[in-house]
Amino acid sequence: MTDLAAVTGSLAAIGYGLAAIGPGIGIGLVFAAYIQATARQPESVGLTRTYLFLGFVLVEALALLGIAFGFVWAK
Amino acid sequence: MIEQLTVLAKDDLPFPPSVEDFFLPAIYPWGEANSPWVTKFTVLIWLAVAALIAFFLLAYRKPKLVPTRGQWMAESVYGFARDNVAKEIIGHEGVRFAPYLATLFSFILLTNIFGIIPFIQISPMSHIAFPAFLAIISYVLYNAAGIKKHGFWRYLKSQTMPPAPKVLYPLLIPLEFFSNLVLRPFTLALRLFANMFAGHIILLVFTLSGFVLLASDNFFIKAMSPFAWLMAIILTLFELLVAVLQAYVFTLLTAVYVQTSIATDH
């Protein structure tokens, strides 16, 4: 069987690109919710900021796992 | 000037940057690769510790009612950790943890900012060992606080058995155990490490690609290299944001974990 298409080198970059889709959507949702909350209730701006960062970092962790494992399995 | 840069660029440029760029030659013994003795990171860690101790001691040597600039800075760092992190997340009990949180915040902030200070330009936190050790300290702290408050078995129960129908327990207990007692220190360390690591790689990519573009024979490609360097400058400012944010986030998550471990049953 002959190869119709082939990729050489590391696929880690493509793997990281795929891994970043989910966290990208997630971080978008987190900030969208925060903006909506502050637009509806401007006085809640300080109240929800802590939870904004909390949600942001928990989602971001997935993308960062992607970076770390991209380098771990790069070879 | 341009000639020199081109000659420099035509030398074997380390492009694209790789993990090897994080393992610098040792300071003692001089120039040795992968040395376990004194490296740039060792020096930076000691420097950070010394600078922080000196800063807080000097700022508070003669506290005045109307604070001087140094005293004001030290007070606002501690006040931030106490009021905006400890009290807000943990509540009144949290003041006990404020010294640890303030130390953690200022230490991580300083070592992160090393990543963009000219001539230092690498953060010790881009080596997994340093964030991992900070995460271990936080892990021991919040578990010890929880065990001290509830006793070992009640603490274990509060961490692994959330109020839920009994049918779900075979599924819930392993999951909660894994996420609360195993995964937390890993994500805590990995988050800080990966941010600093990726930040350094990004700066290397843009700085080095400026030289690579300059080494090109095509004039139009050569002319692109200032844009790569401009991008490197912009991303340096972005790294400042990341440095502050990650220091805050590490402190915030430590406070949240302490809060969940000492929270009384609802």
Residue B195: strand pairing partners: none
Q: What is the pLDDT of residues B197-226, one digit of tens each?
A: 999 999 999 999 999 888 888 888 889 999
This prediction has a pTM of 0.88
pLDDT at B123 over 90: yes
Q: H/E element holding A26?
A: helix A12-40
Contact B244/A at CB under 8 A: no
Q: How confident is the model at residue B3 (pLDDT cuts 50, 70, 90)?
A: low
Contact B249 A57 (CB under 8 A): yes
Contact A53 B252 (CB under 8 A): yes
Residues B252-261 have a mean pLDDT of 94
Cα B124 to Cα A61, B39, B63, B205, distances in angstroms: 20, 10, 32, 19
pLDDT at A73 over 80: no
> What is the distance in angstroms between the Cα of A40 and the nearest Cα belonging to chain B?
23
The reported pLDDT for the residue numbered B147 is 94
pLDDT at B1 over 90: no
**Looking at beta carbons, which residues of chain B come within 8 Å of A50?**
88-89, 252
| H-only helix segments in chain B | 2-10, 40-59, 69-79, 98-113, 129-150, 152-160, 169-177, 184-214, 219-222, 225-262
Contact B190 A60 (CB under 8 A): no
Q: How confident is the model at residue B148 (pLDDT cuts 50, 70, 90)?
A: very high
Contact B191 A50 (CB under 8 A): no
Estimate to the nearest angstrom the gap between the alpha carbon of B192 and the chain centroid: 4
**Looking at beta carbons, which residues of chain A come within 8 Å of B193?**
68
Interface test with A, best of B18, B22, B126, B253 (most A CBs within 10 A): B253
Q: Which of B194, B248, B249 sits opposite A67 (nearest CB)?
A: B194
**Looking at beta carbons, which residues of chain B come within 8 Å of A64?**
190-191, 194-195, 198
pLDDT at B234 over 80: yes
Q: Which residues contact B199 (CB under 8 A, 6 or more apart)?
A: B115, B123, B126, B239, B242, B243
> Minimum mean pLDDT among A50-54, B139-143, B159-163: which range?
B159-163
Q: Which long-range contacts (CB under 8 A, 24 or more apart) does A12-16 make?
A: A12/A70, A12/A71, A12/A73, A12/A74, A13/A70, A15/A66, A15/A69, A15/A70, A15/A73, A16/A66, A16/A67, A16/A70
pLDDT at B142 over 80: yes
Q: What is the pLDDT of residues A20-70, one digit of tens each?
A: 999 999 999 999 999 999 999 999 888 888 899 999 998 988 888 888 888
Contact B135/A at CB under 8 A: no
Chain A residue set in contact with B, beta carbons under 8 Å: 50, 53-54, 57, 60-61, 64-65, 67-68, 71
pLDDT at B10 over 80: no
The reported pLDDT for the residue numbered B26 is 86
Residue B252, both tokens: 């915030």
Greatest pairwise CA separation for chain B in angstroms: 75
Cα B148 to Cα B44, B141, B153, B154, B265, distances in angstroms: 35, 10, 11, 10, 15
Report the length, in residues, of chain B: 266
> Which position has the token pair 């600093």?
B196
The reported pLDDT for the residue numbered B8 is 53
In this prediction, does ipTM exceed 0.85?
no
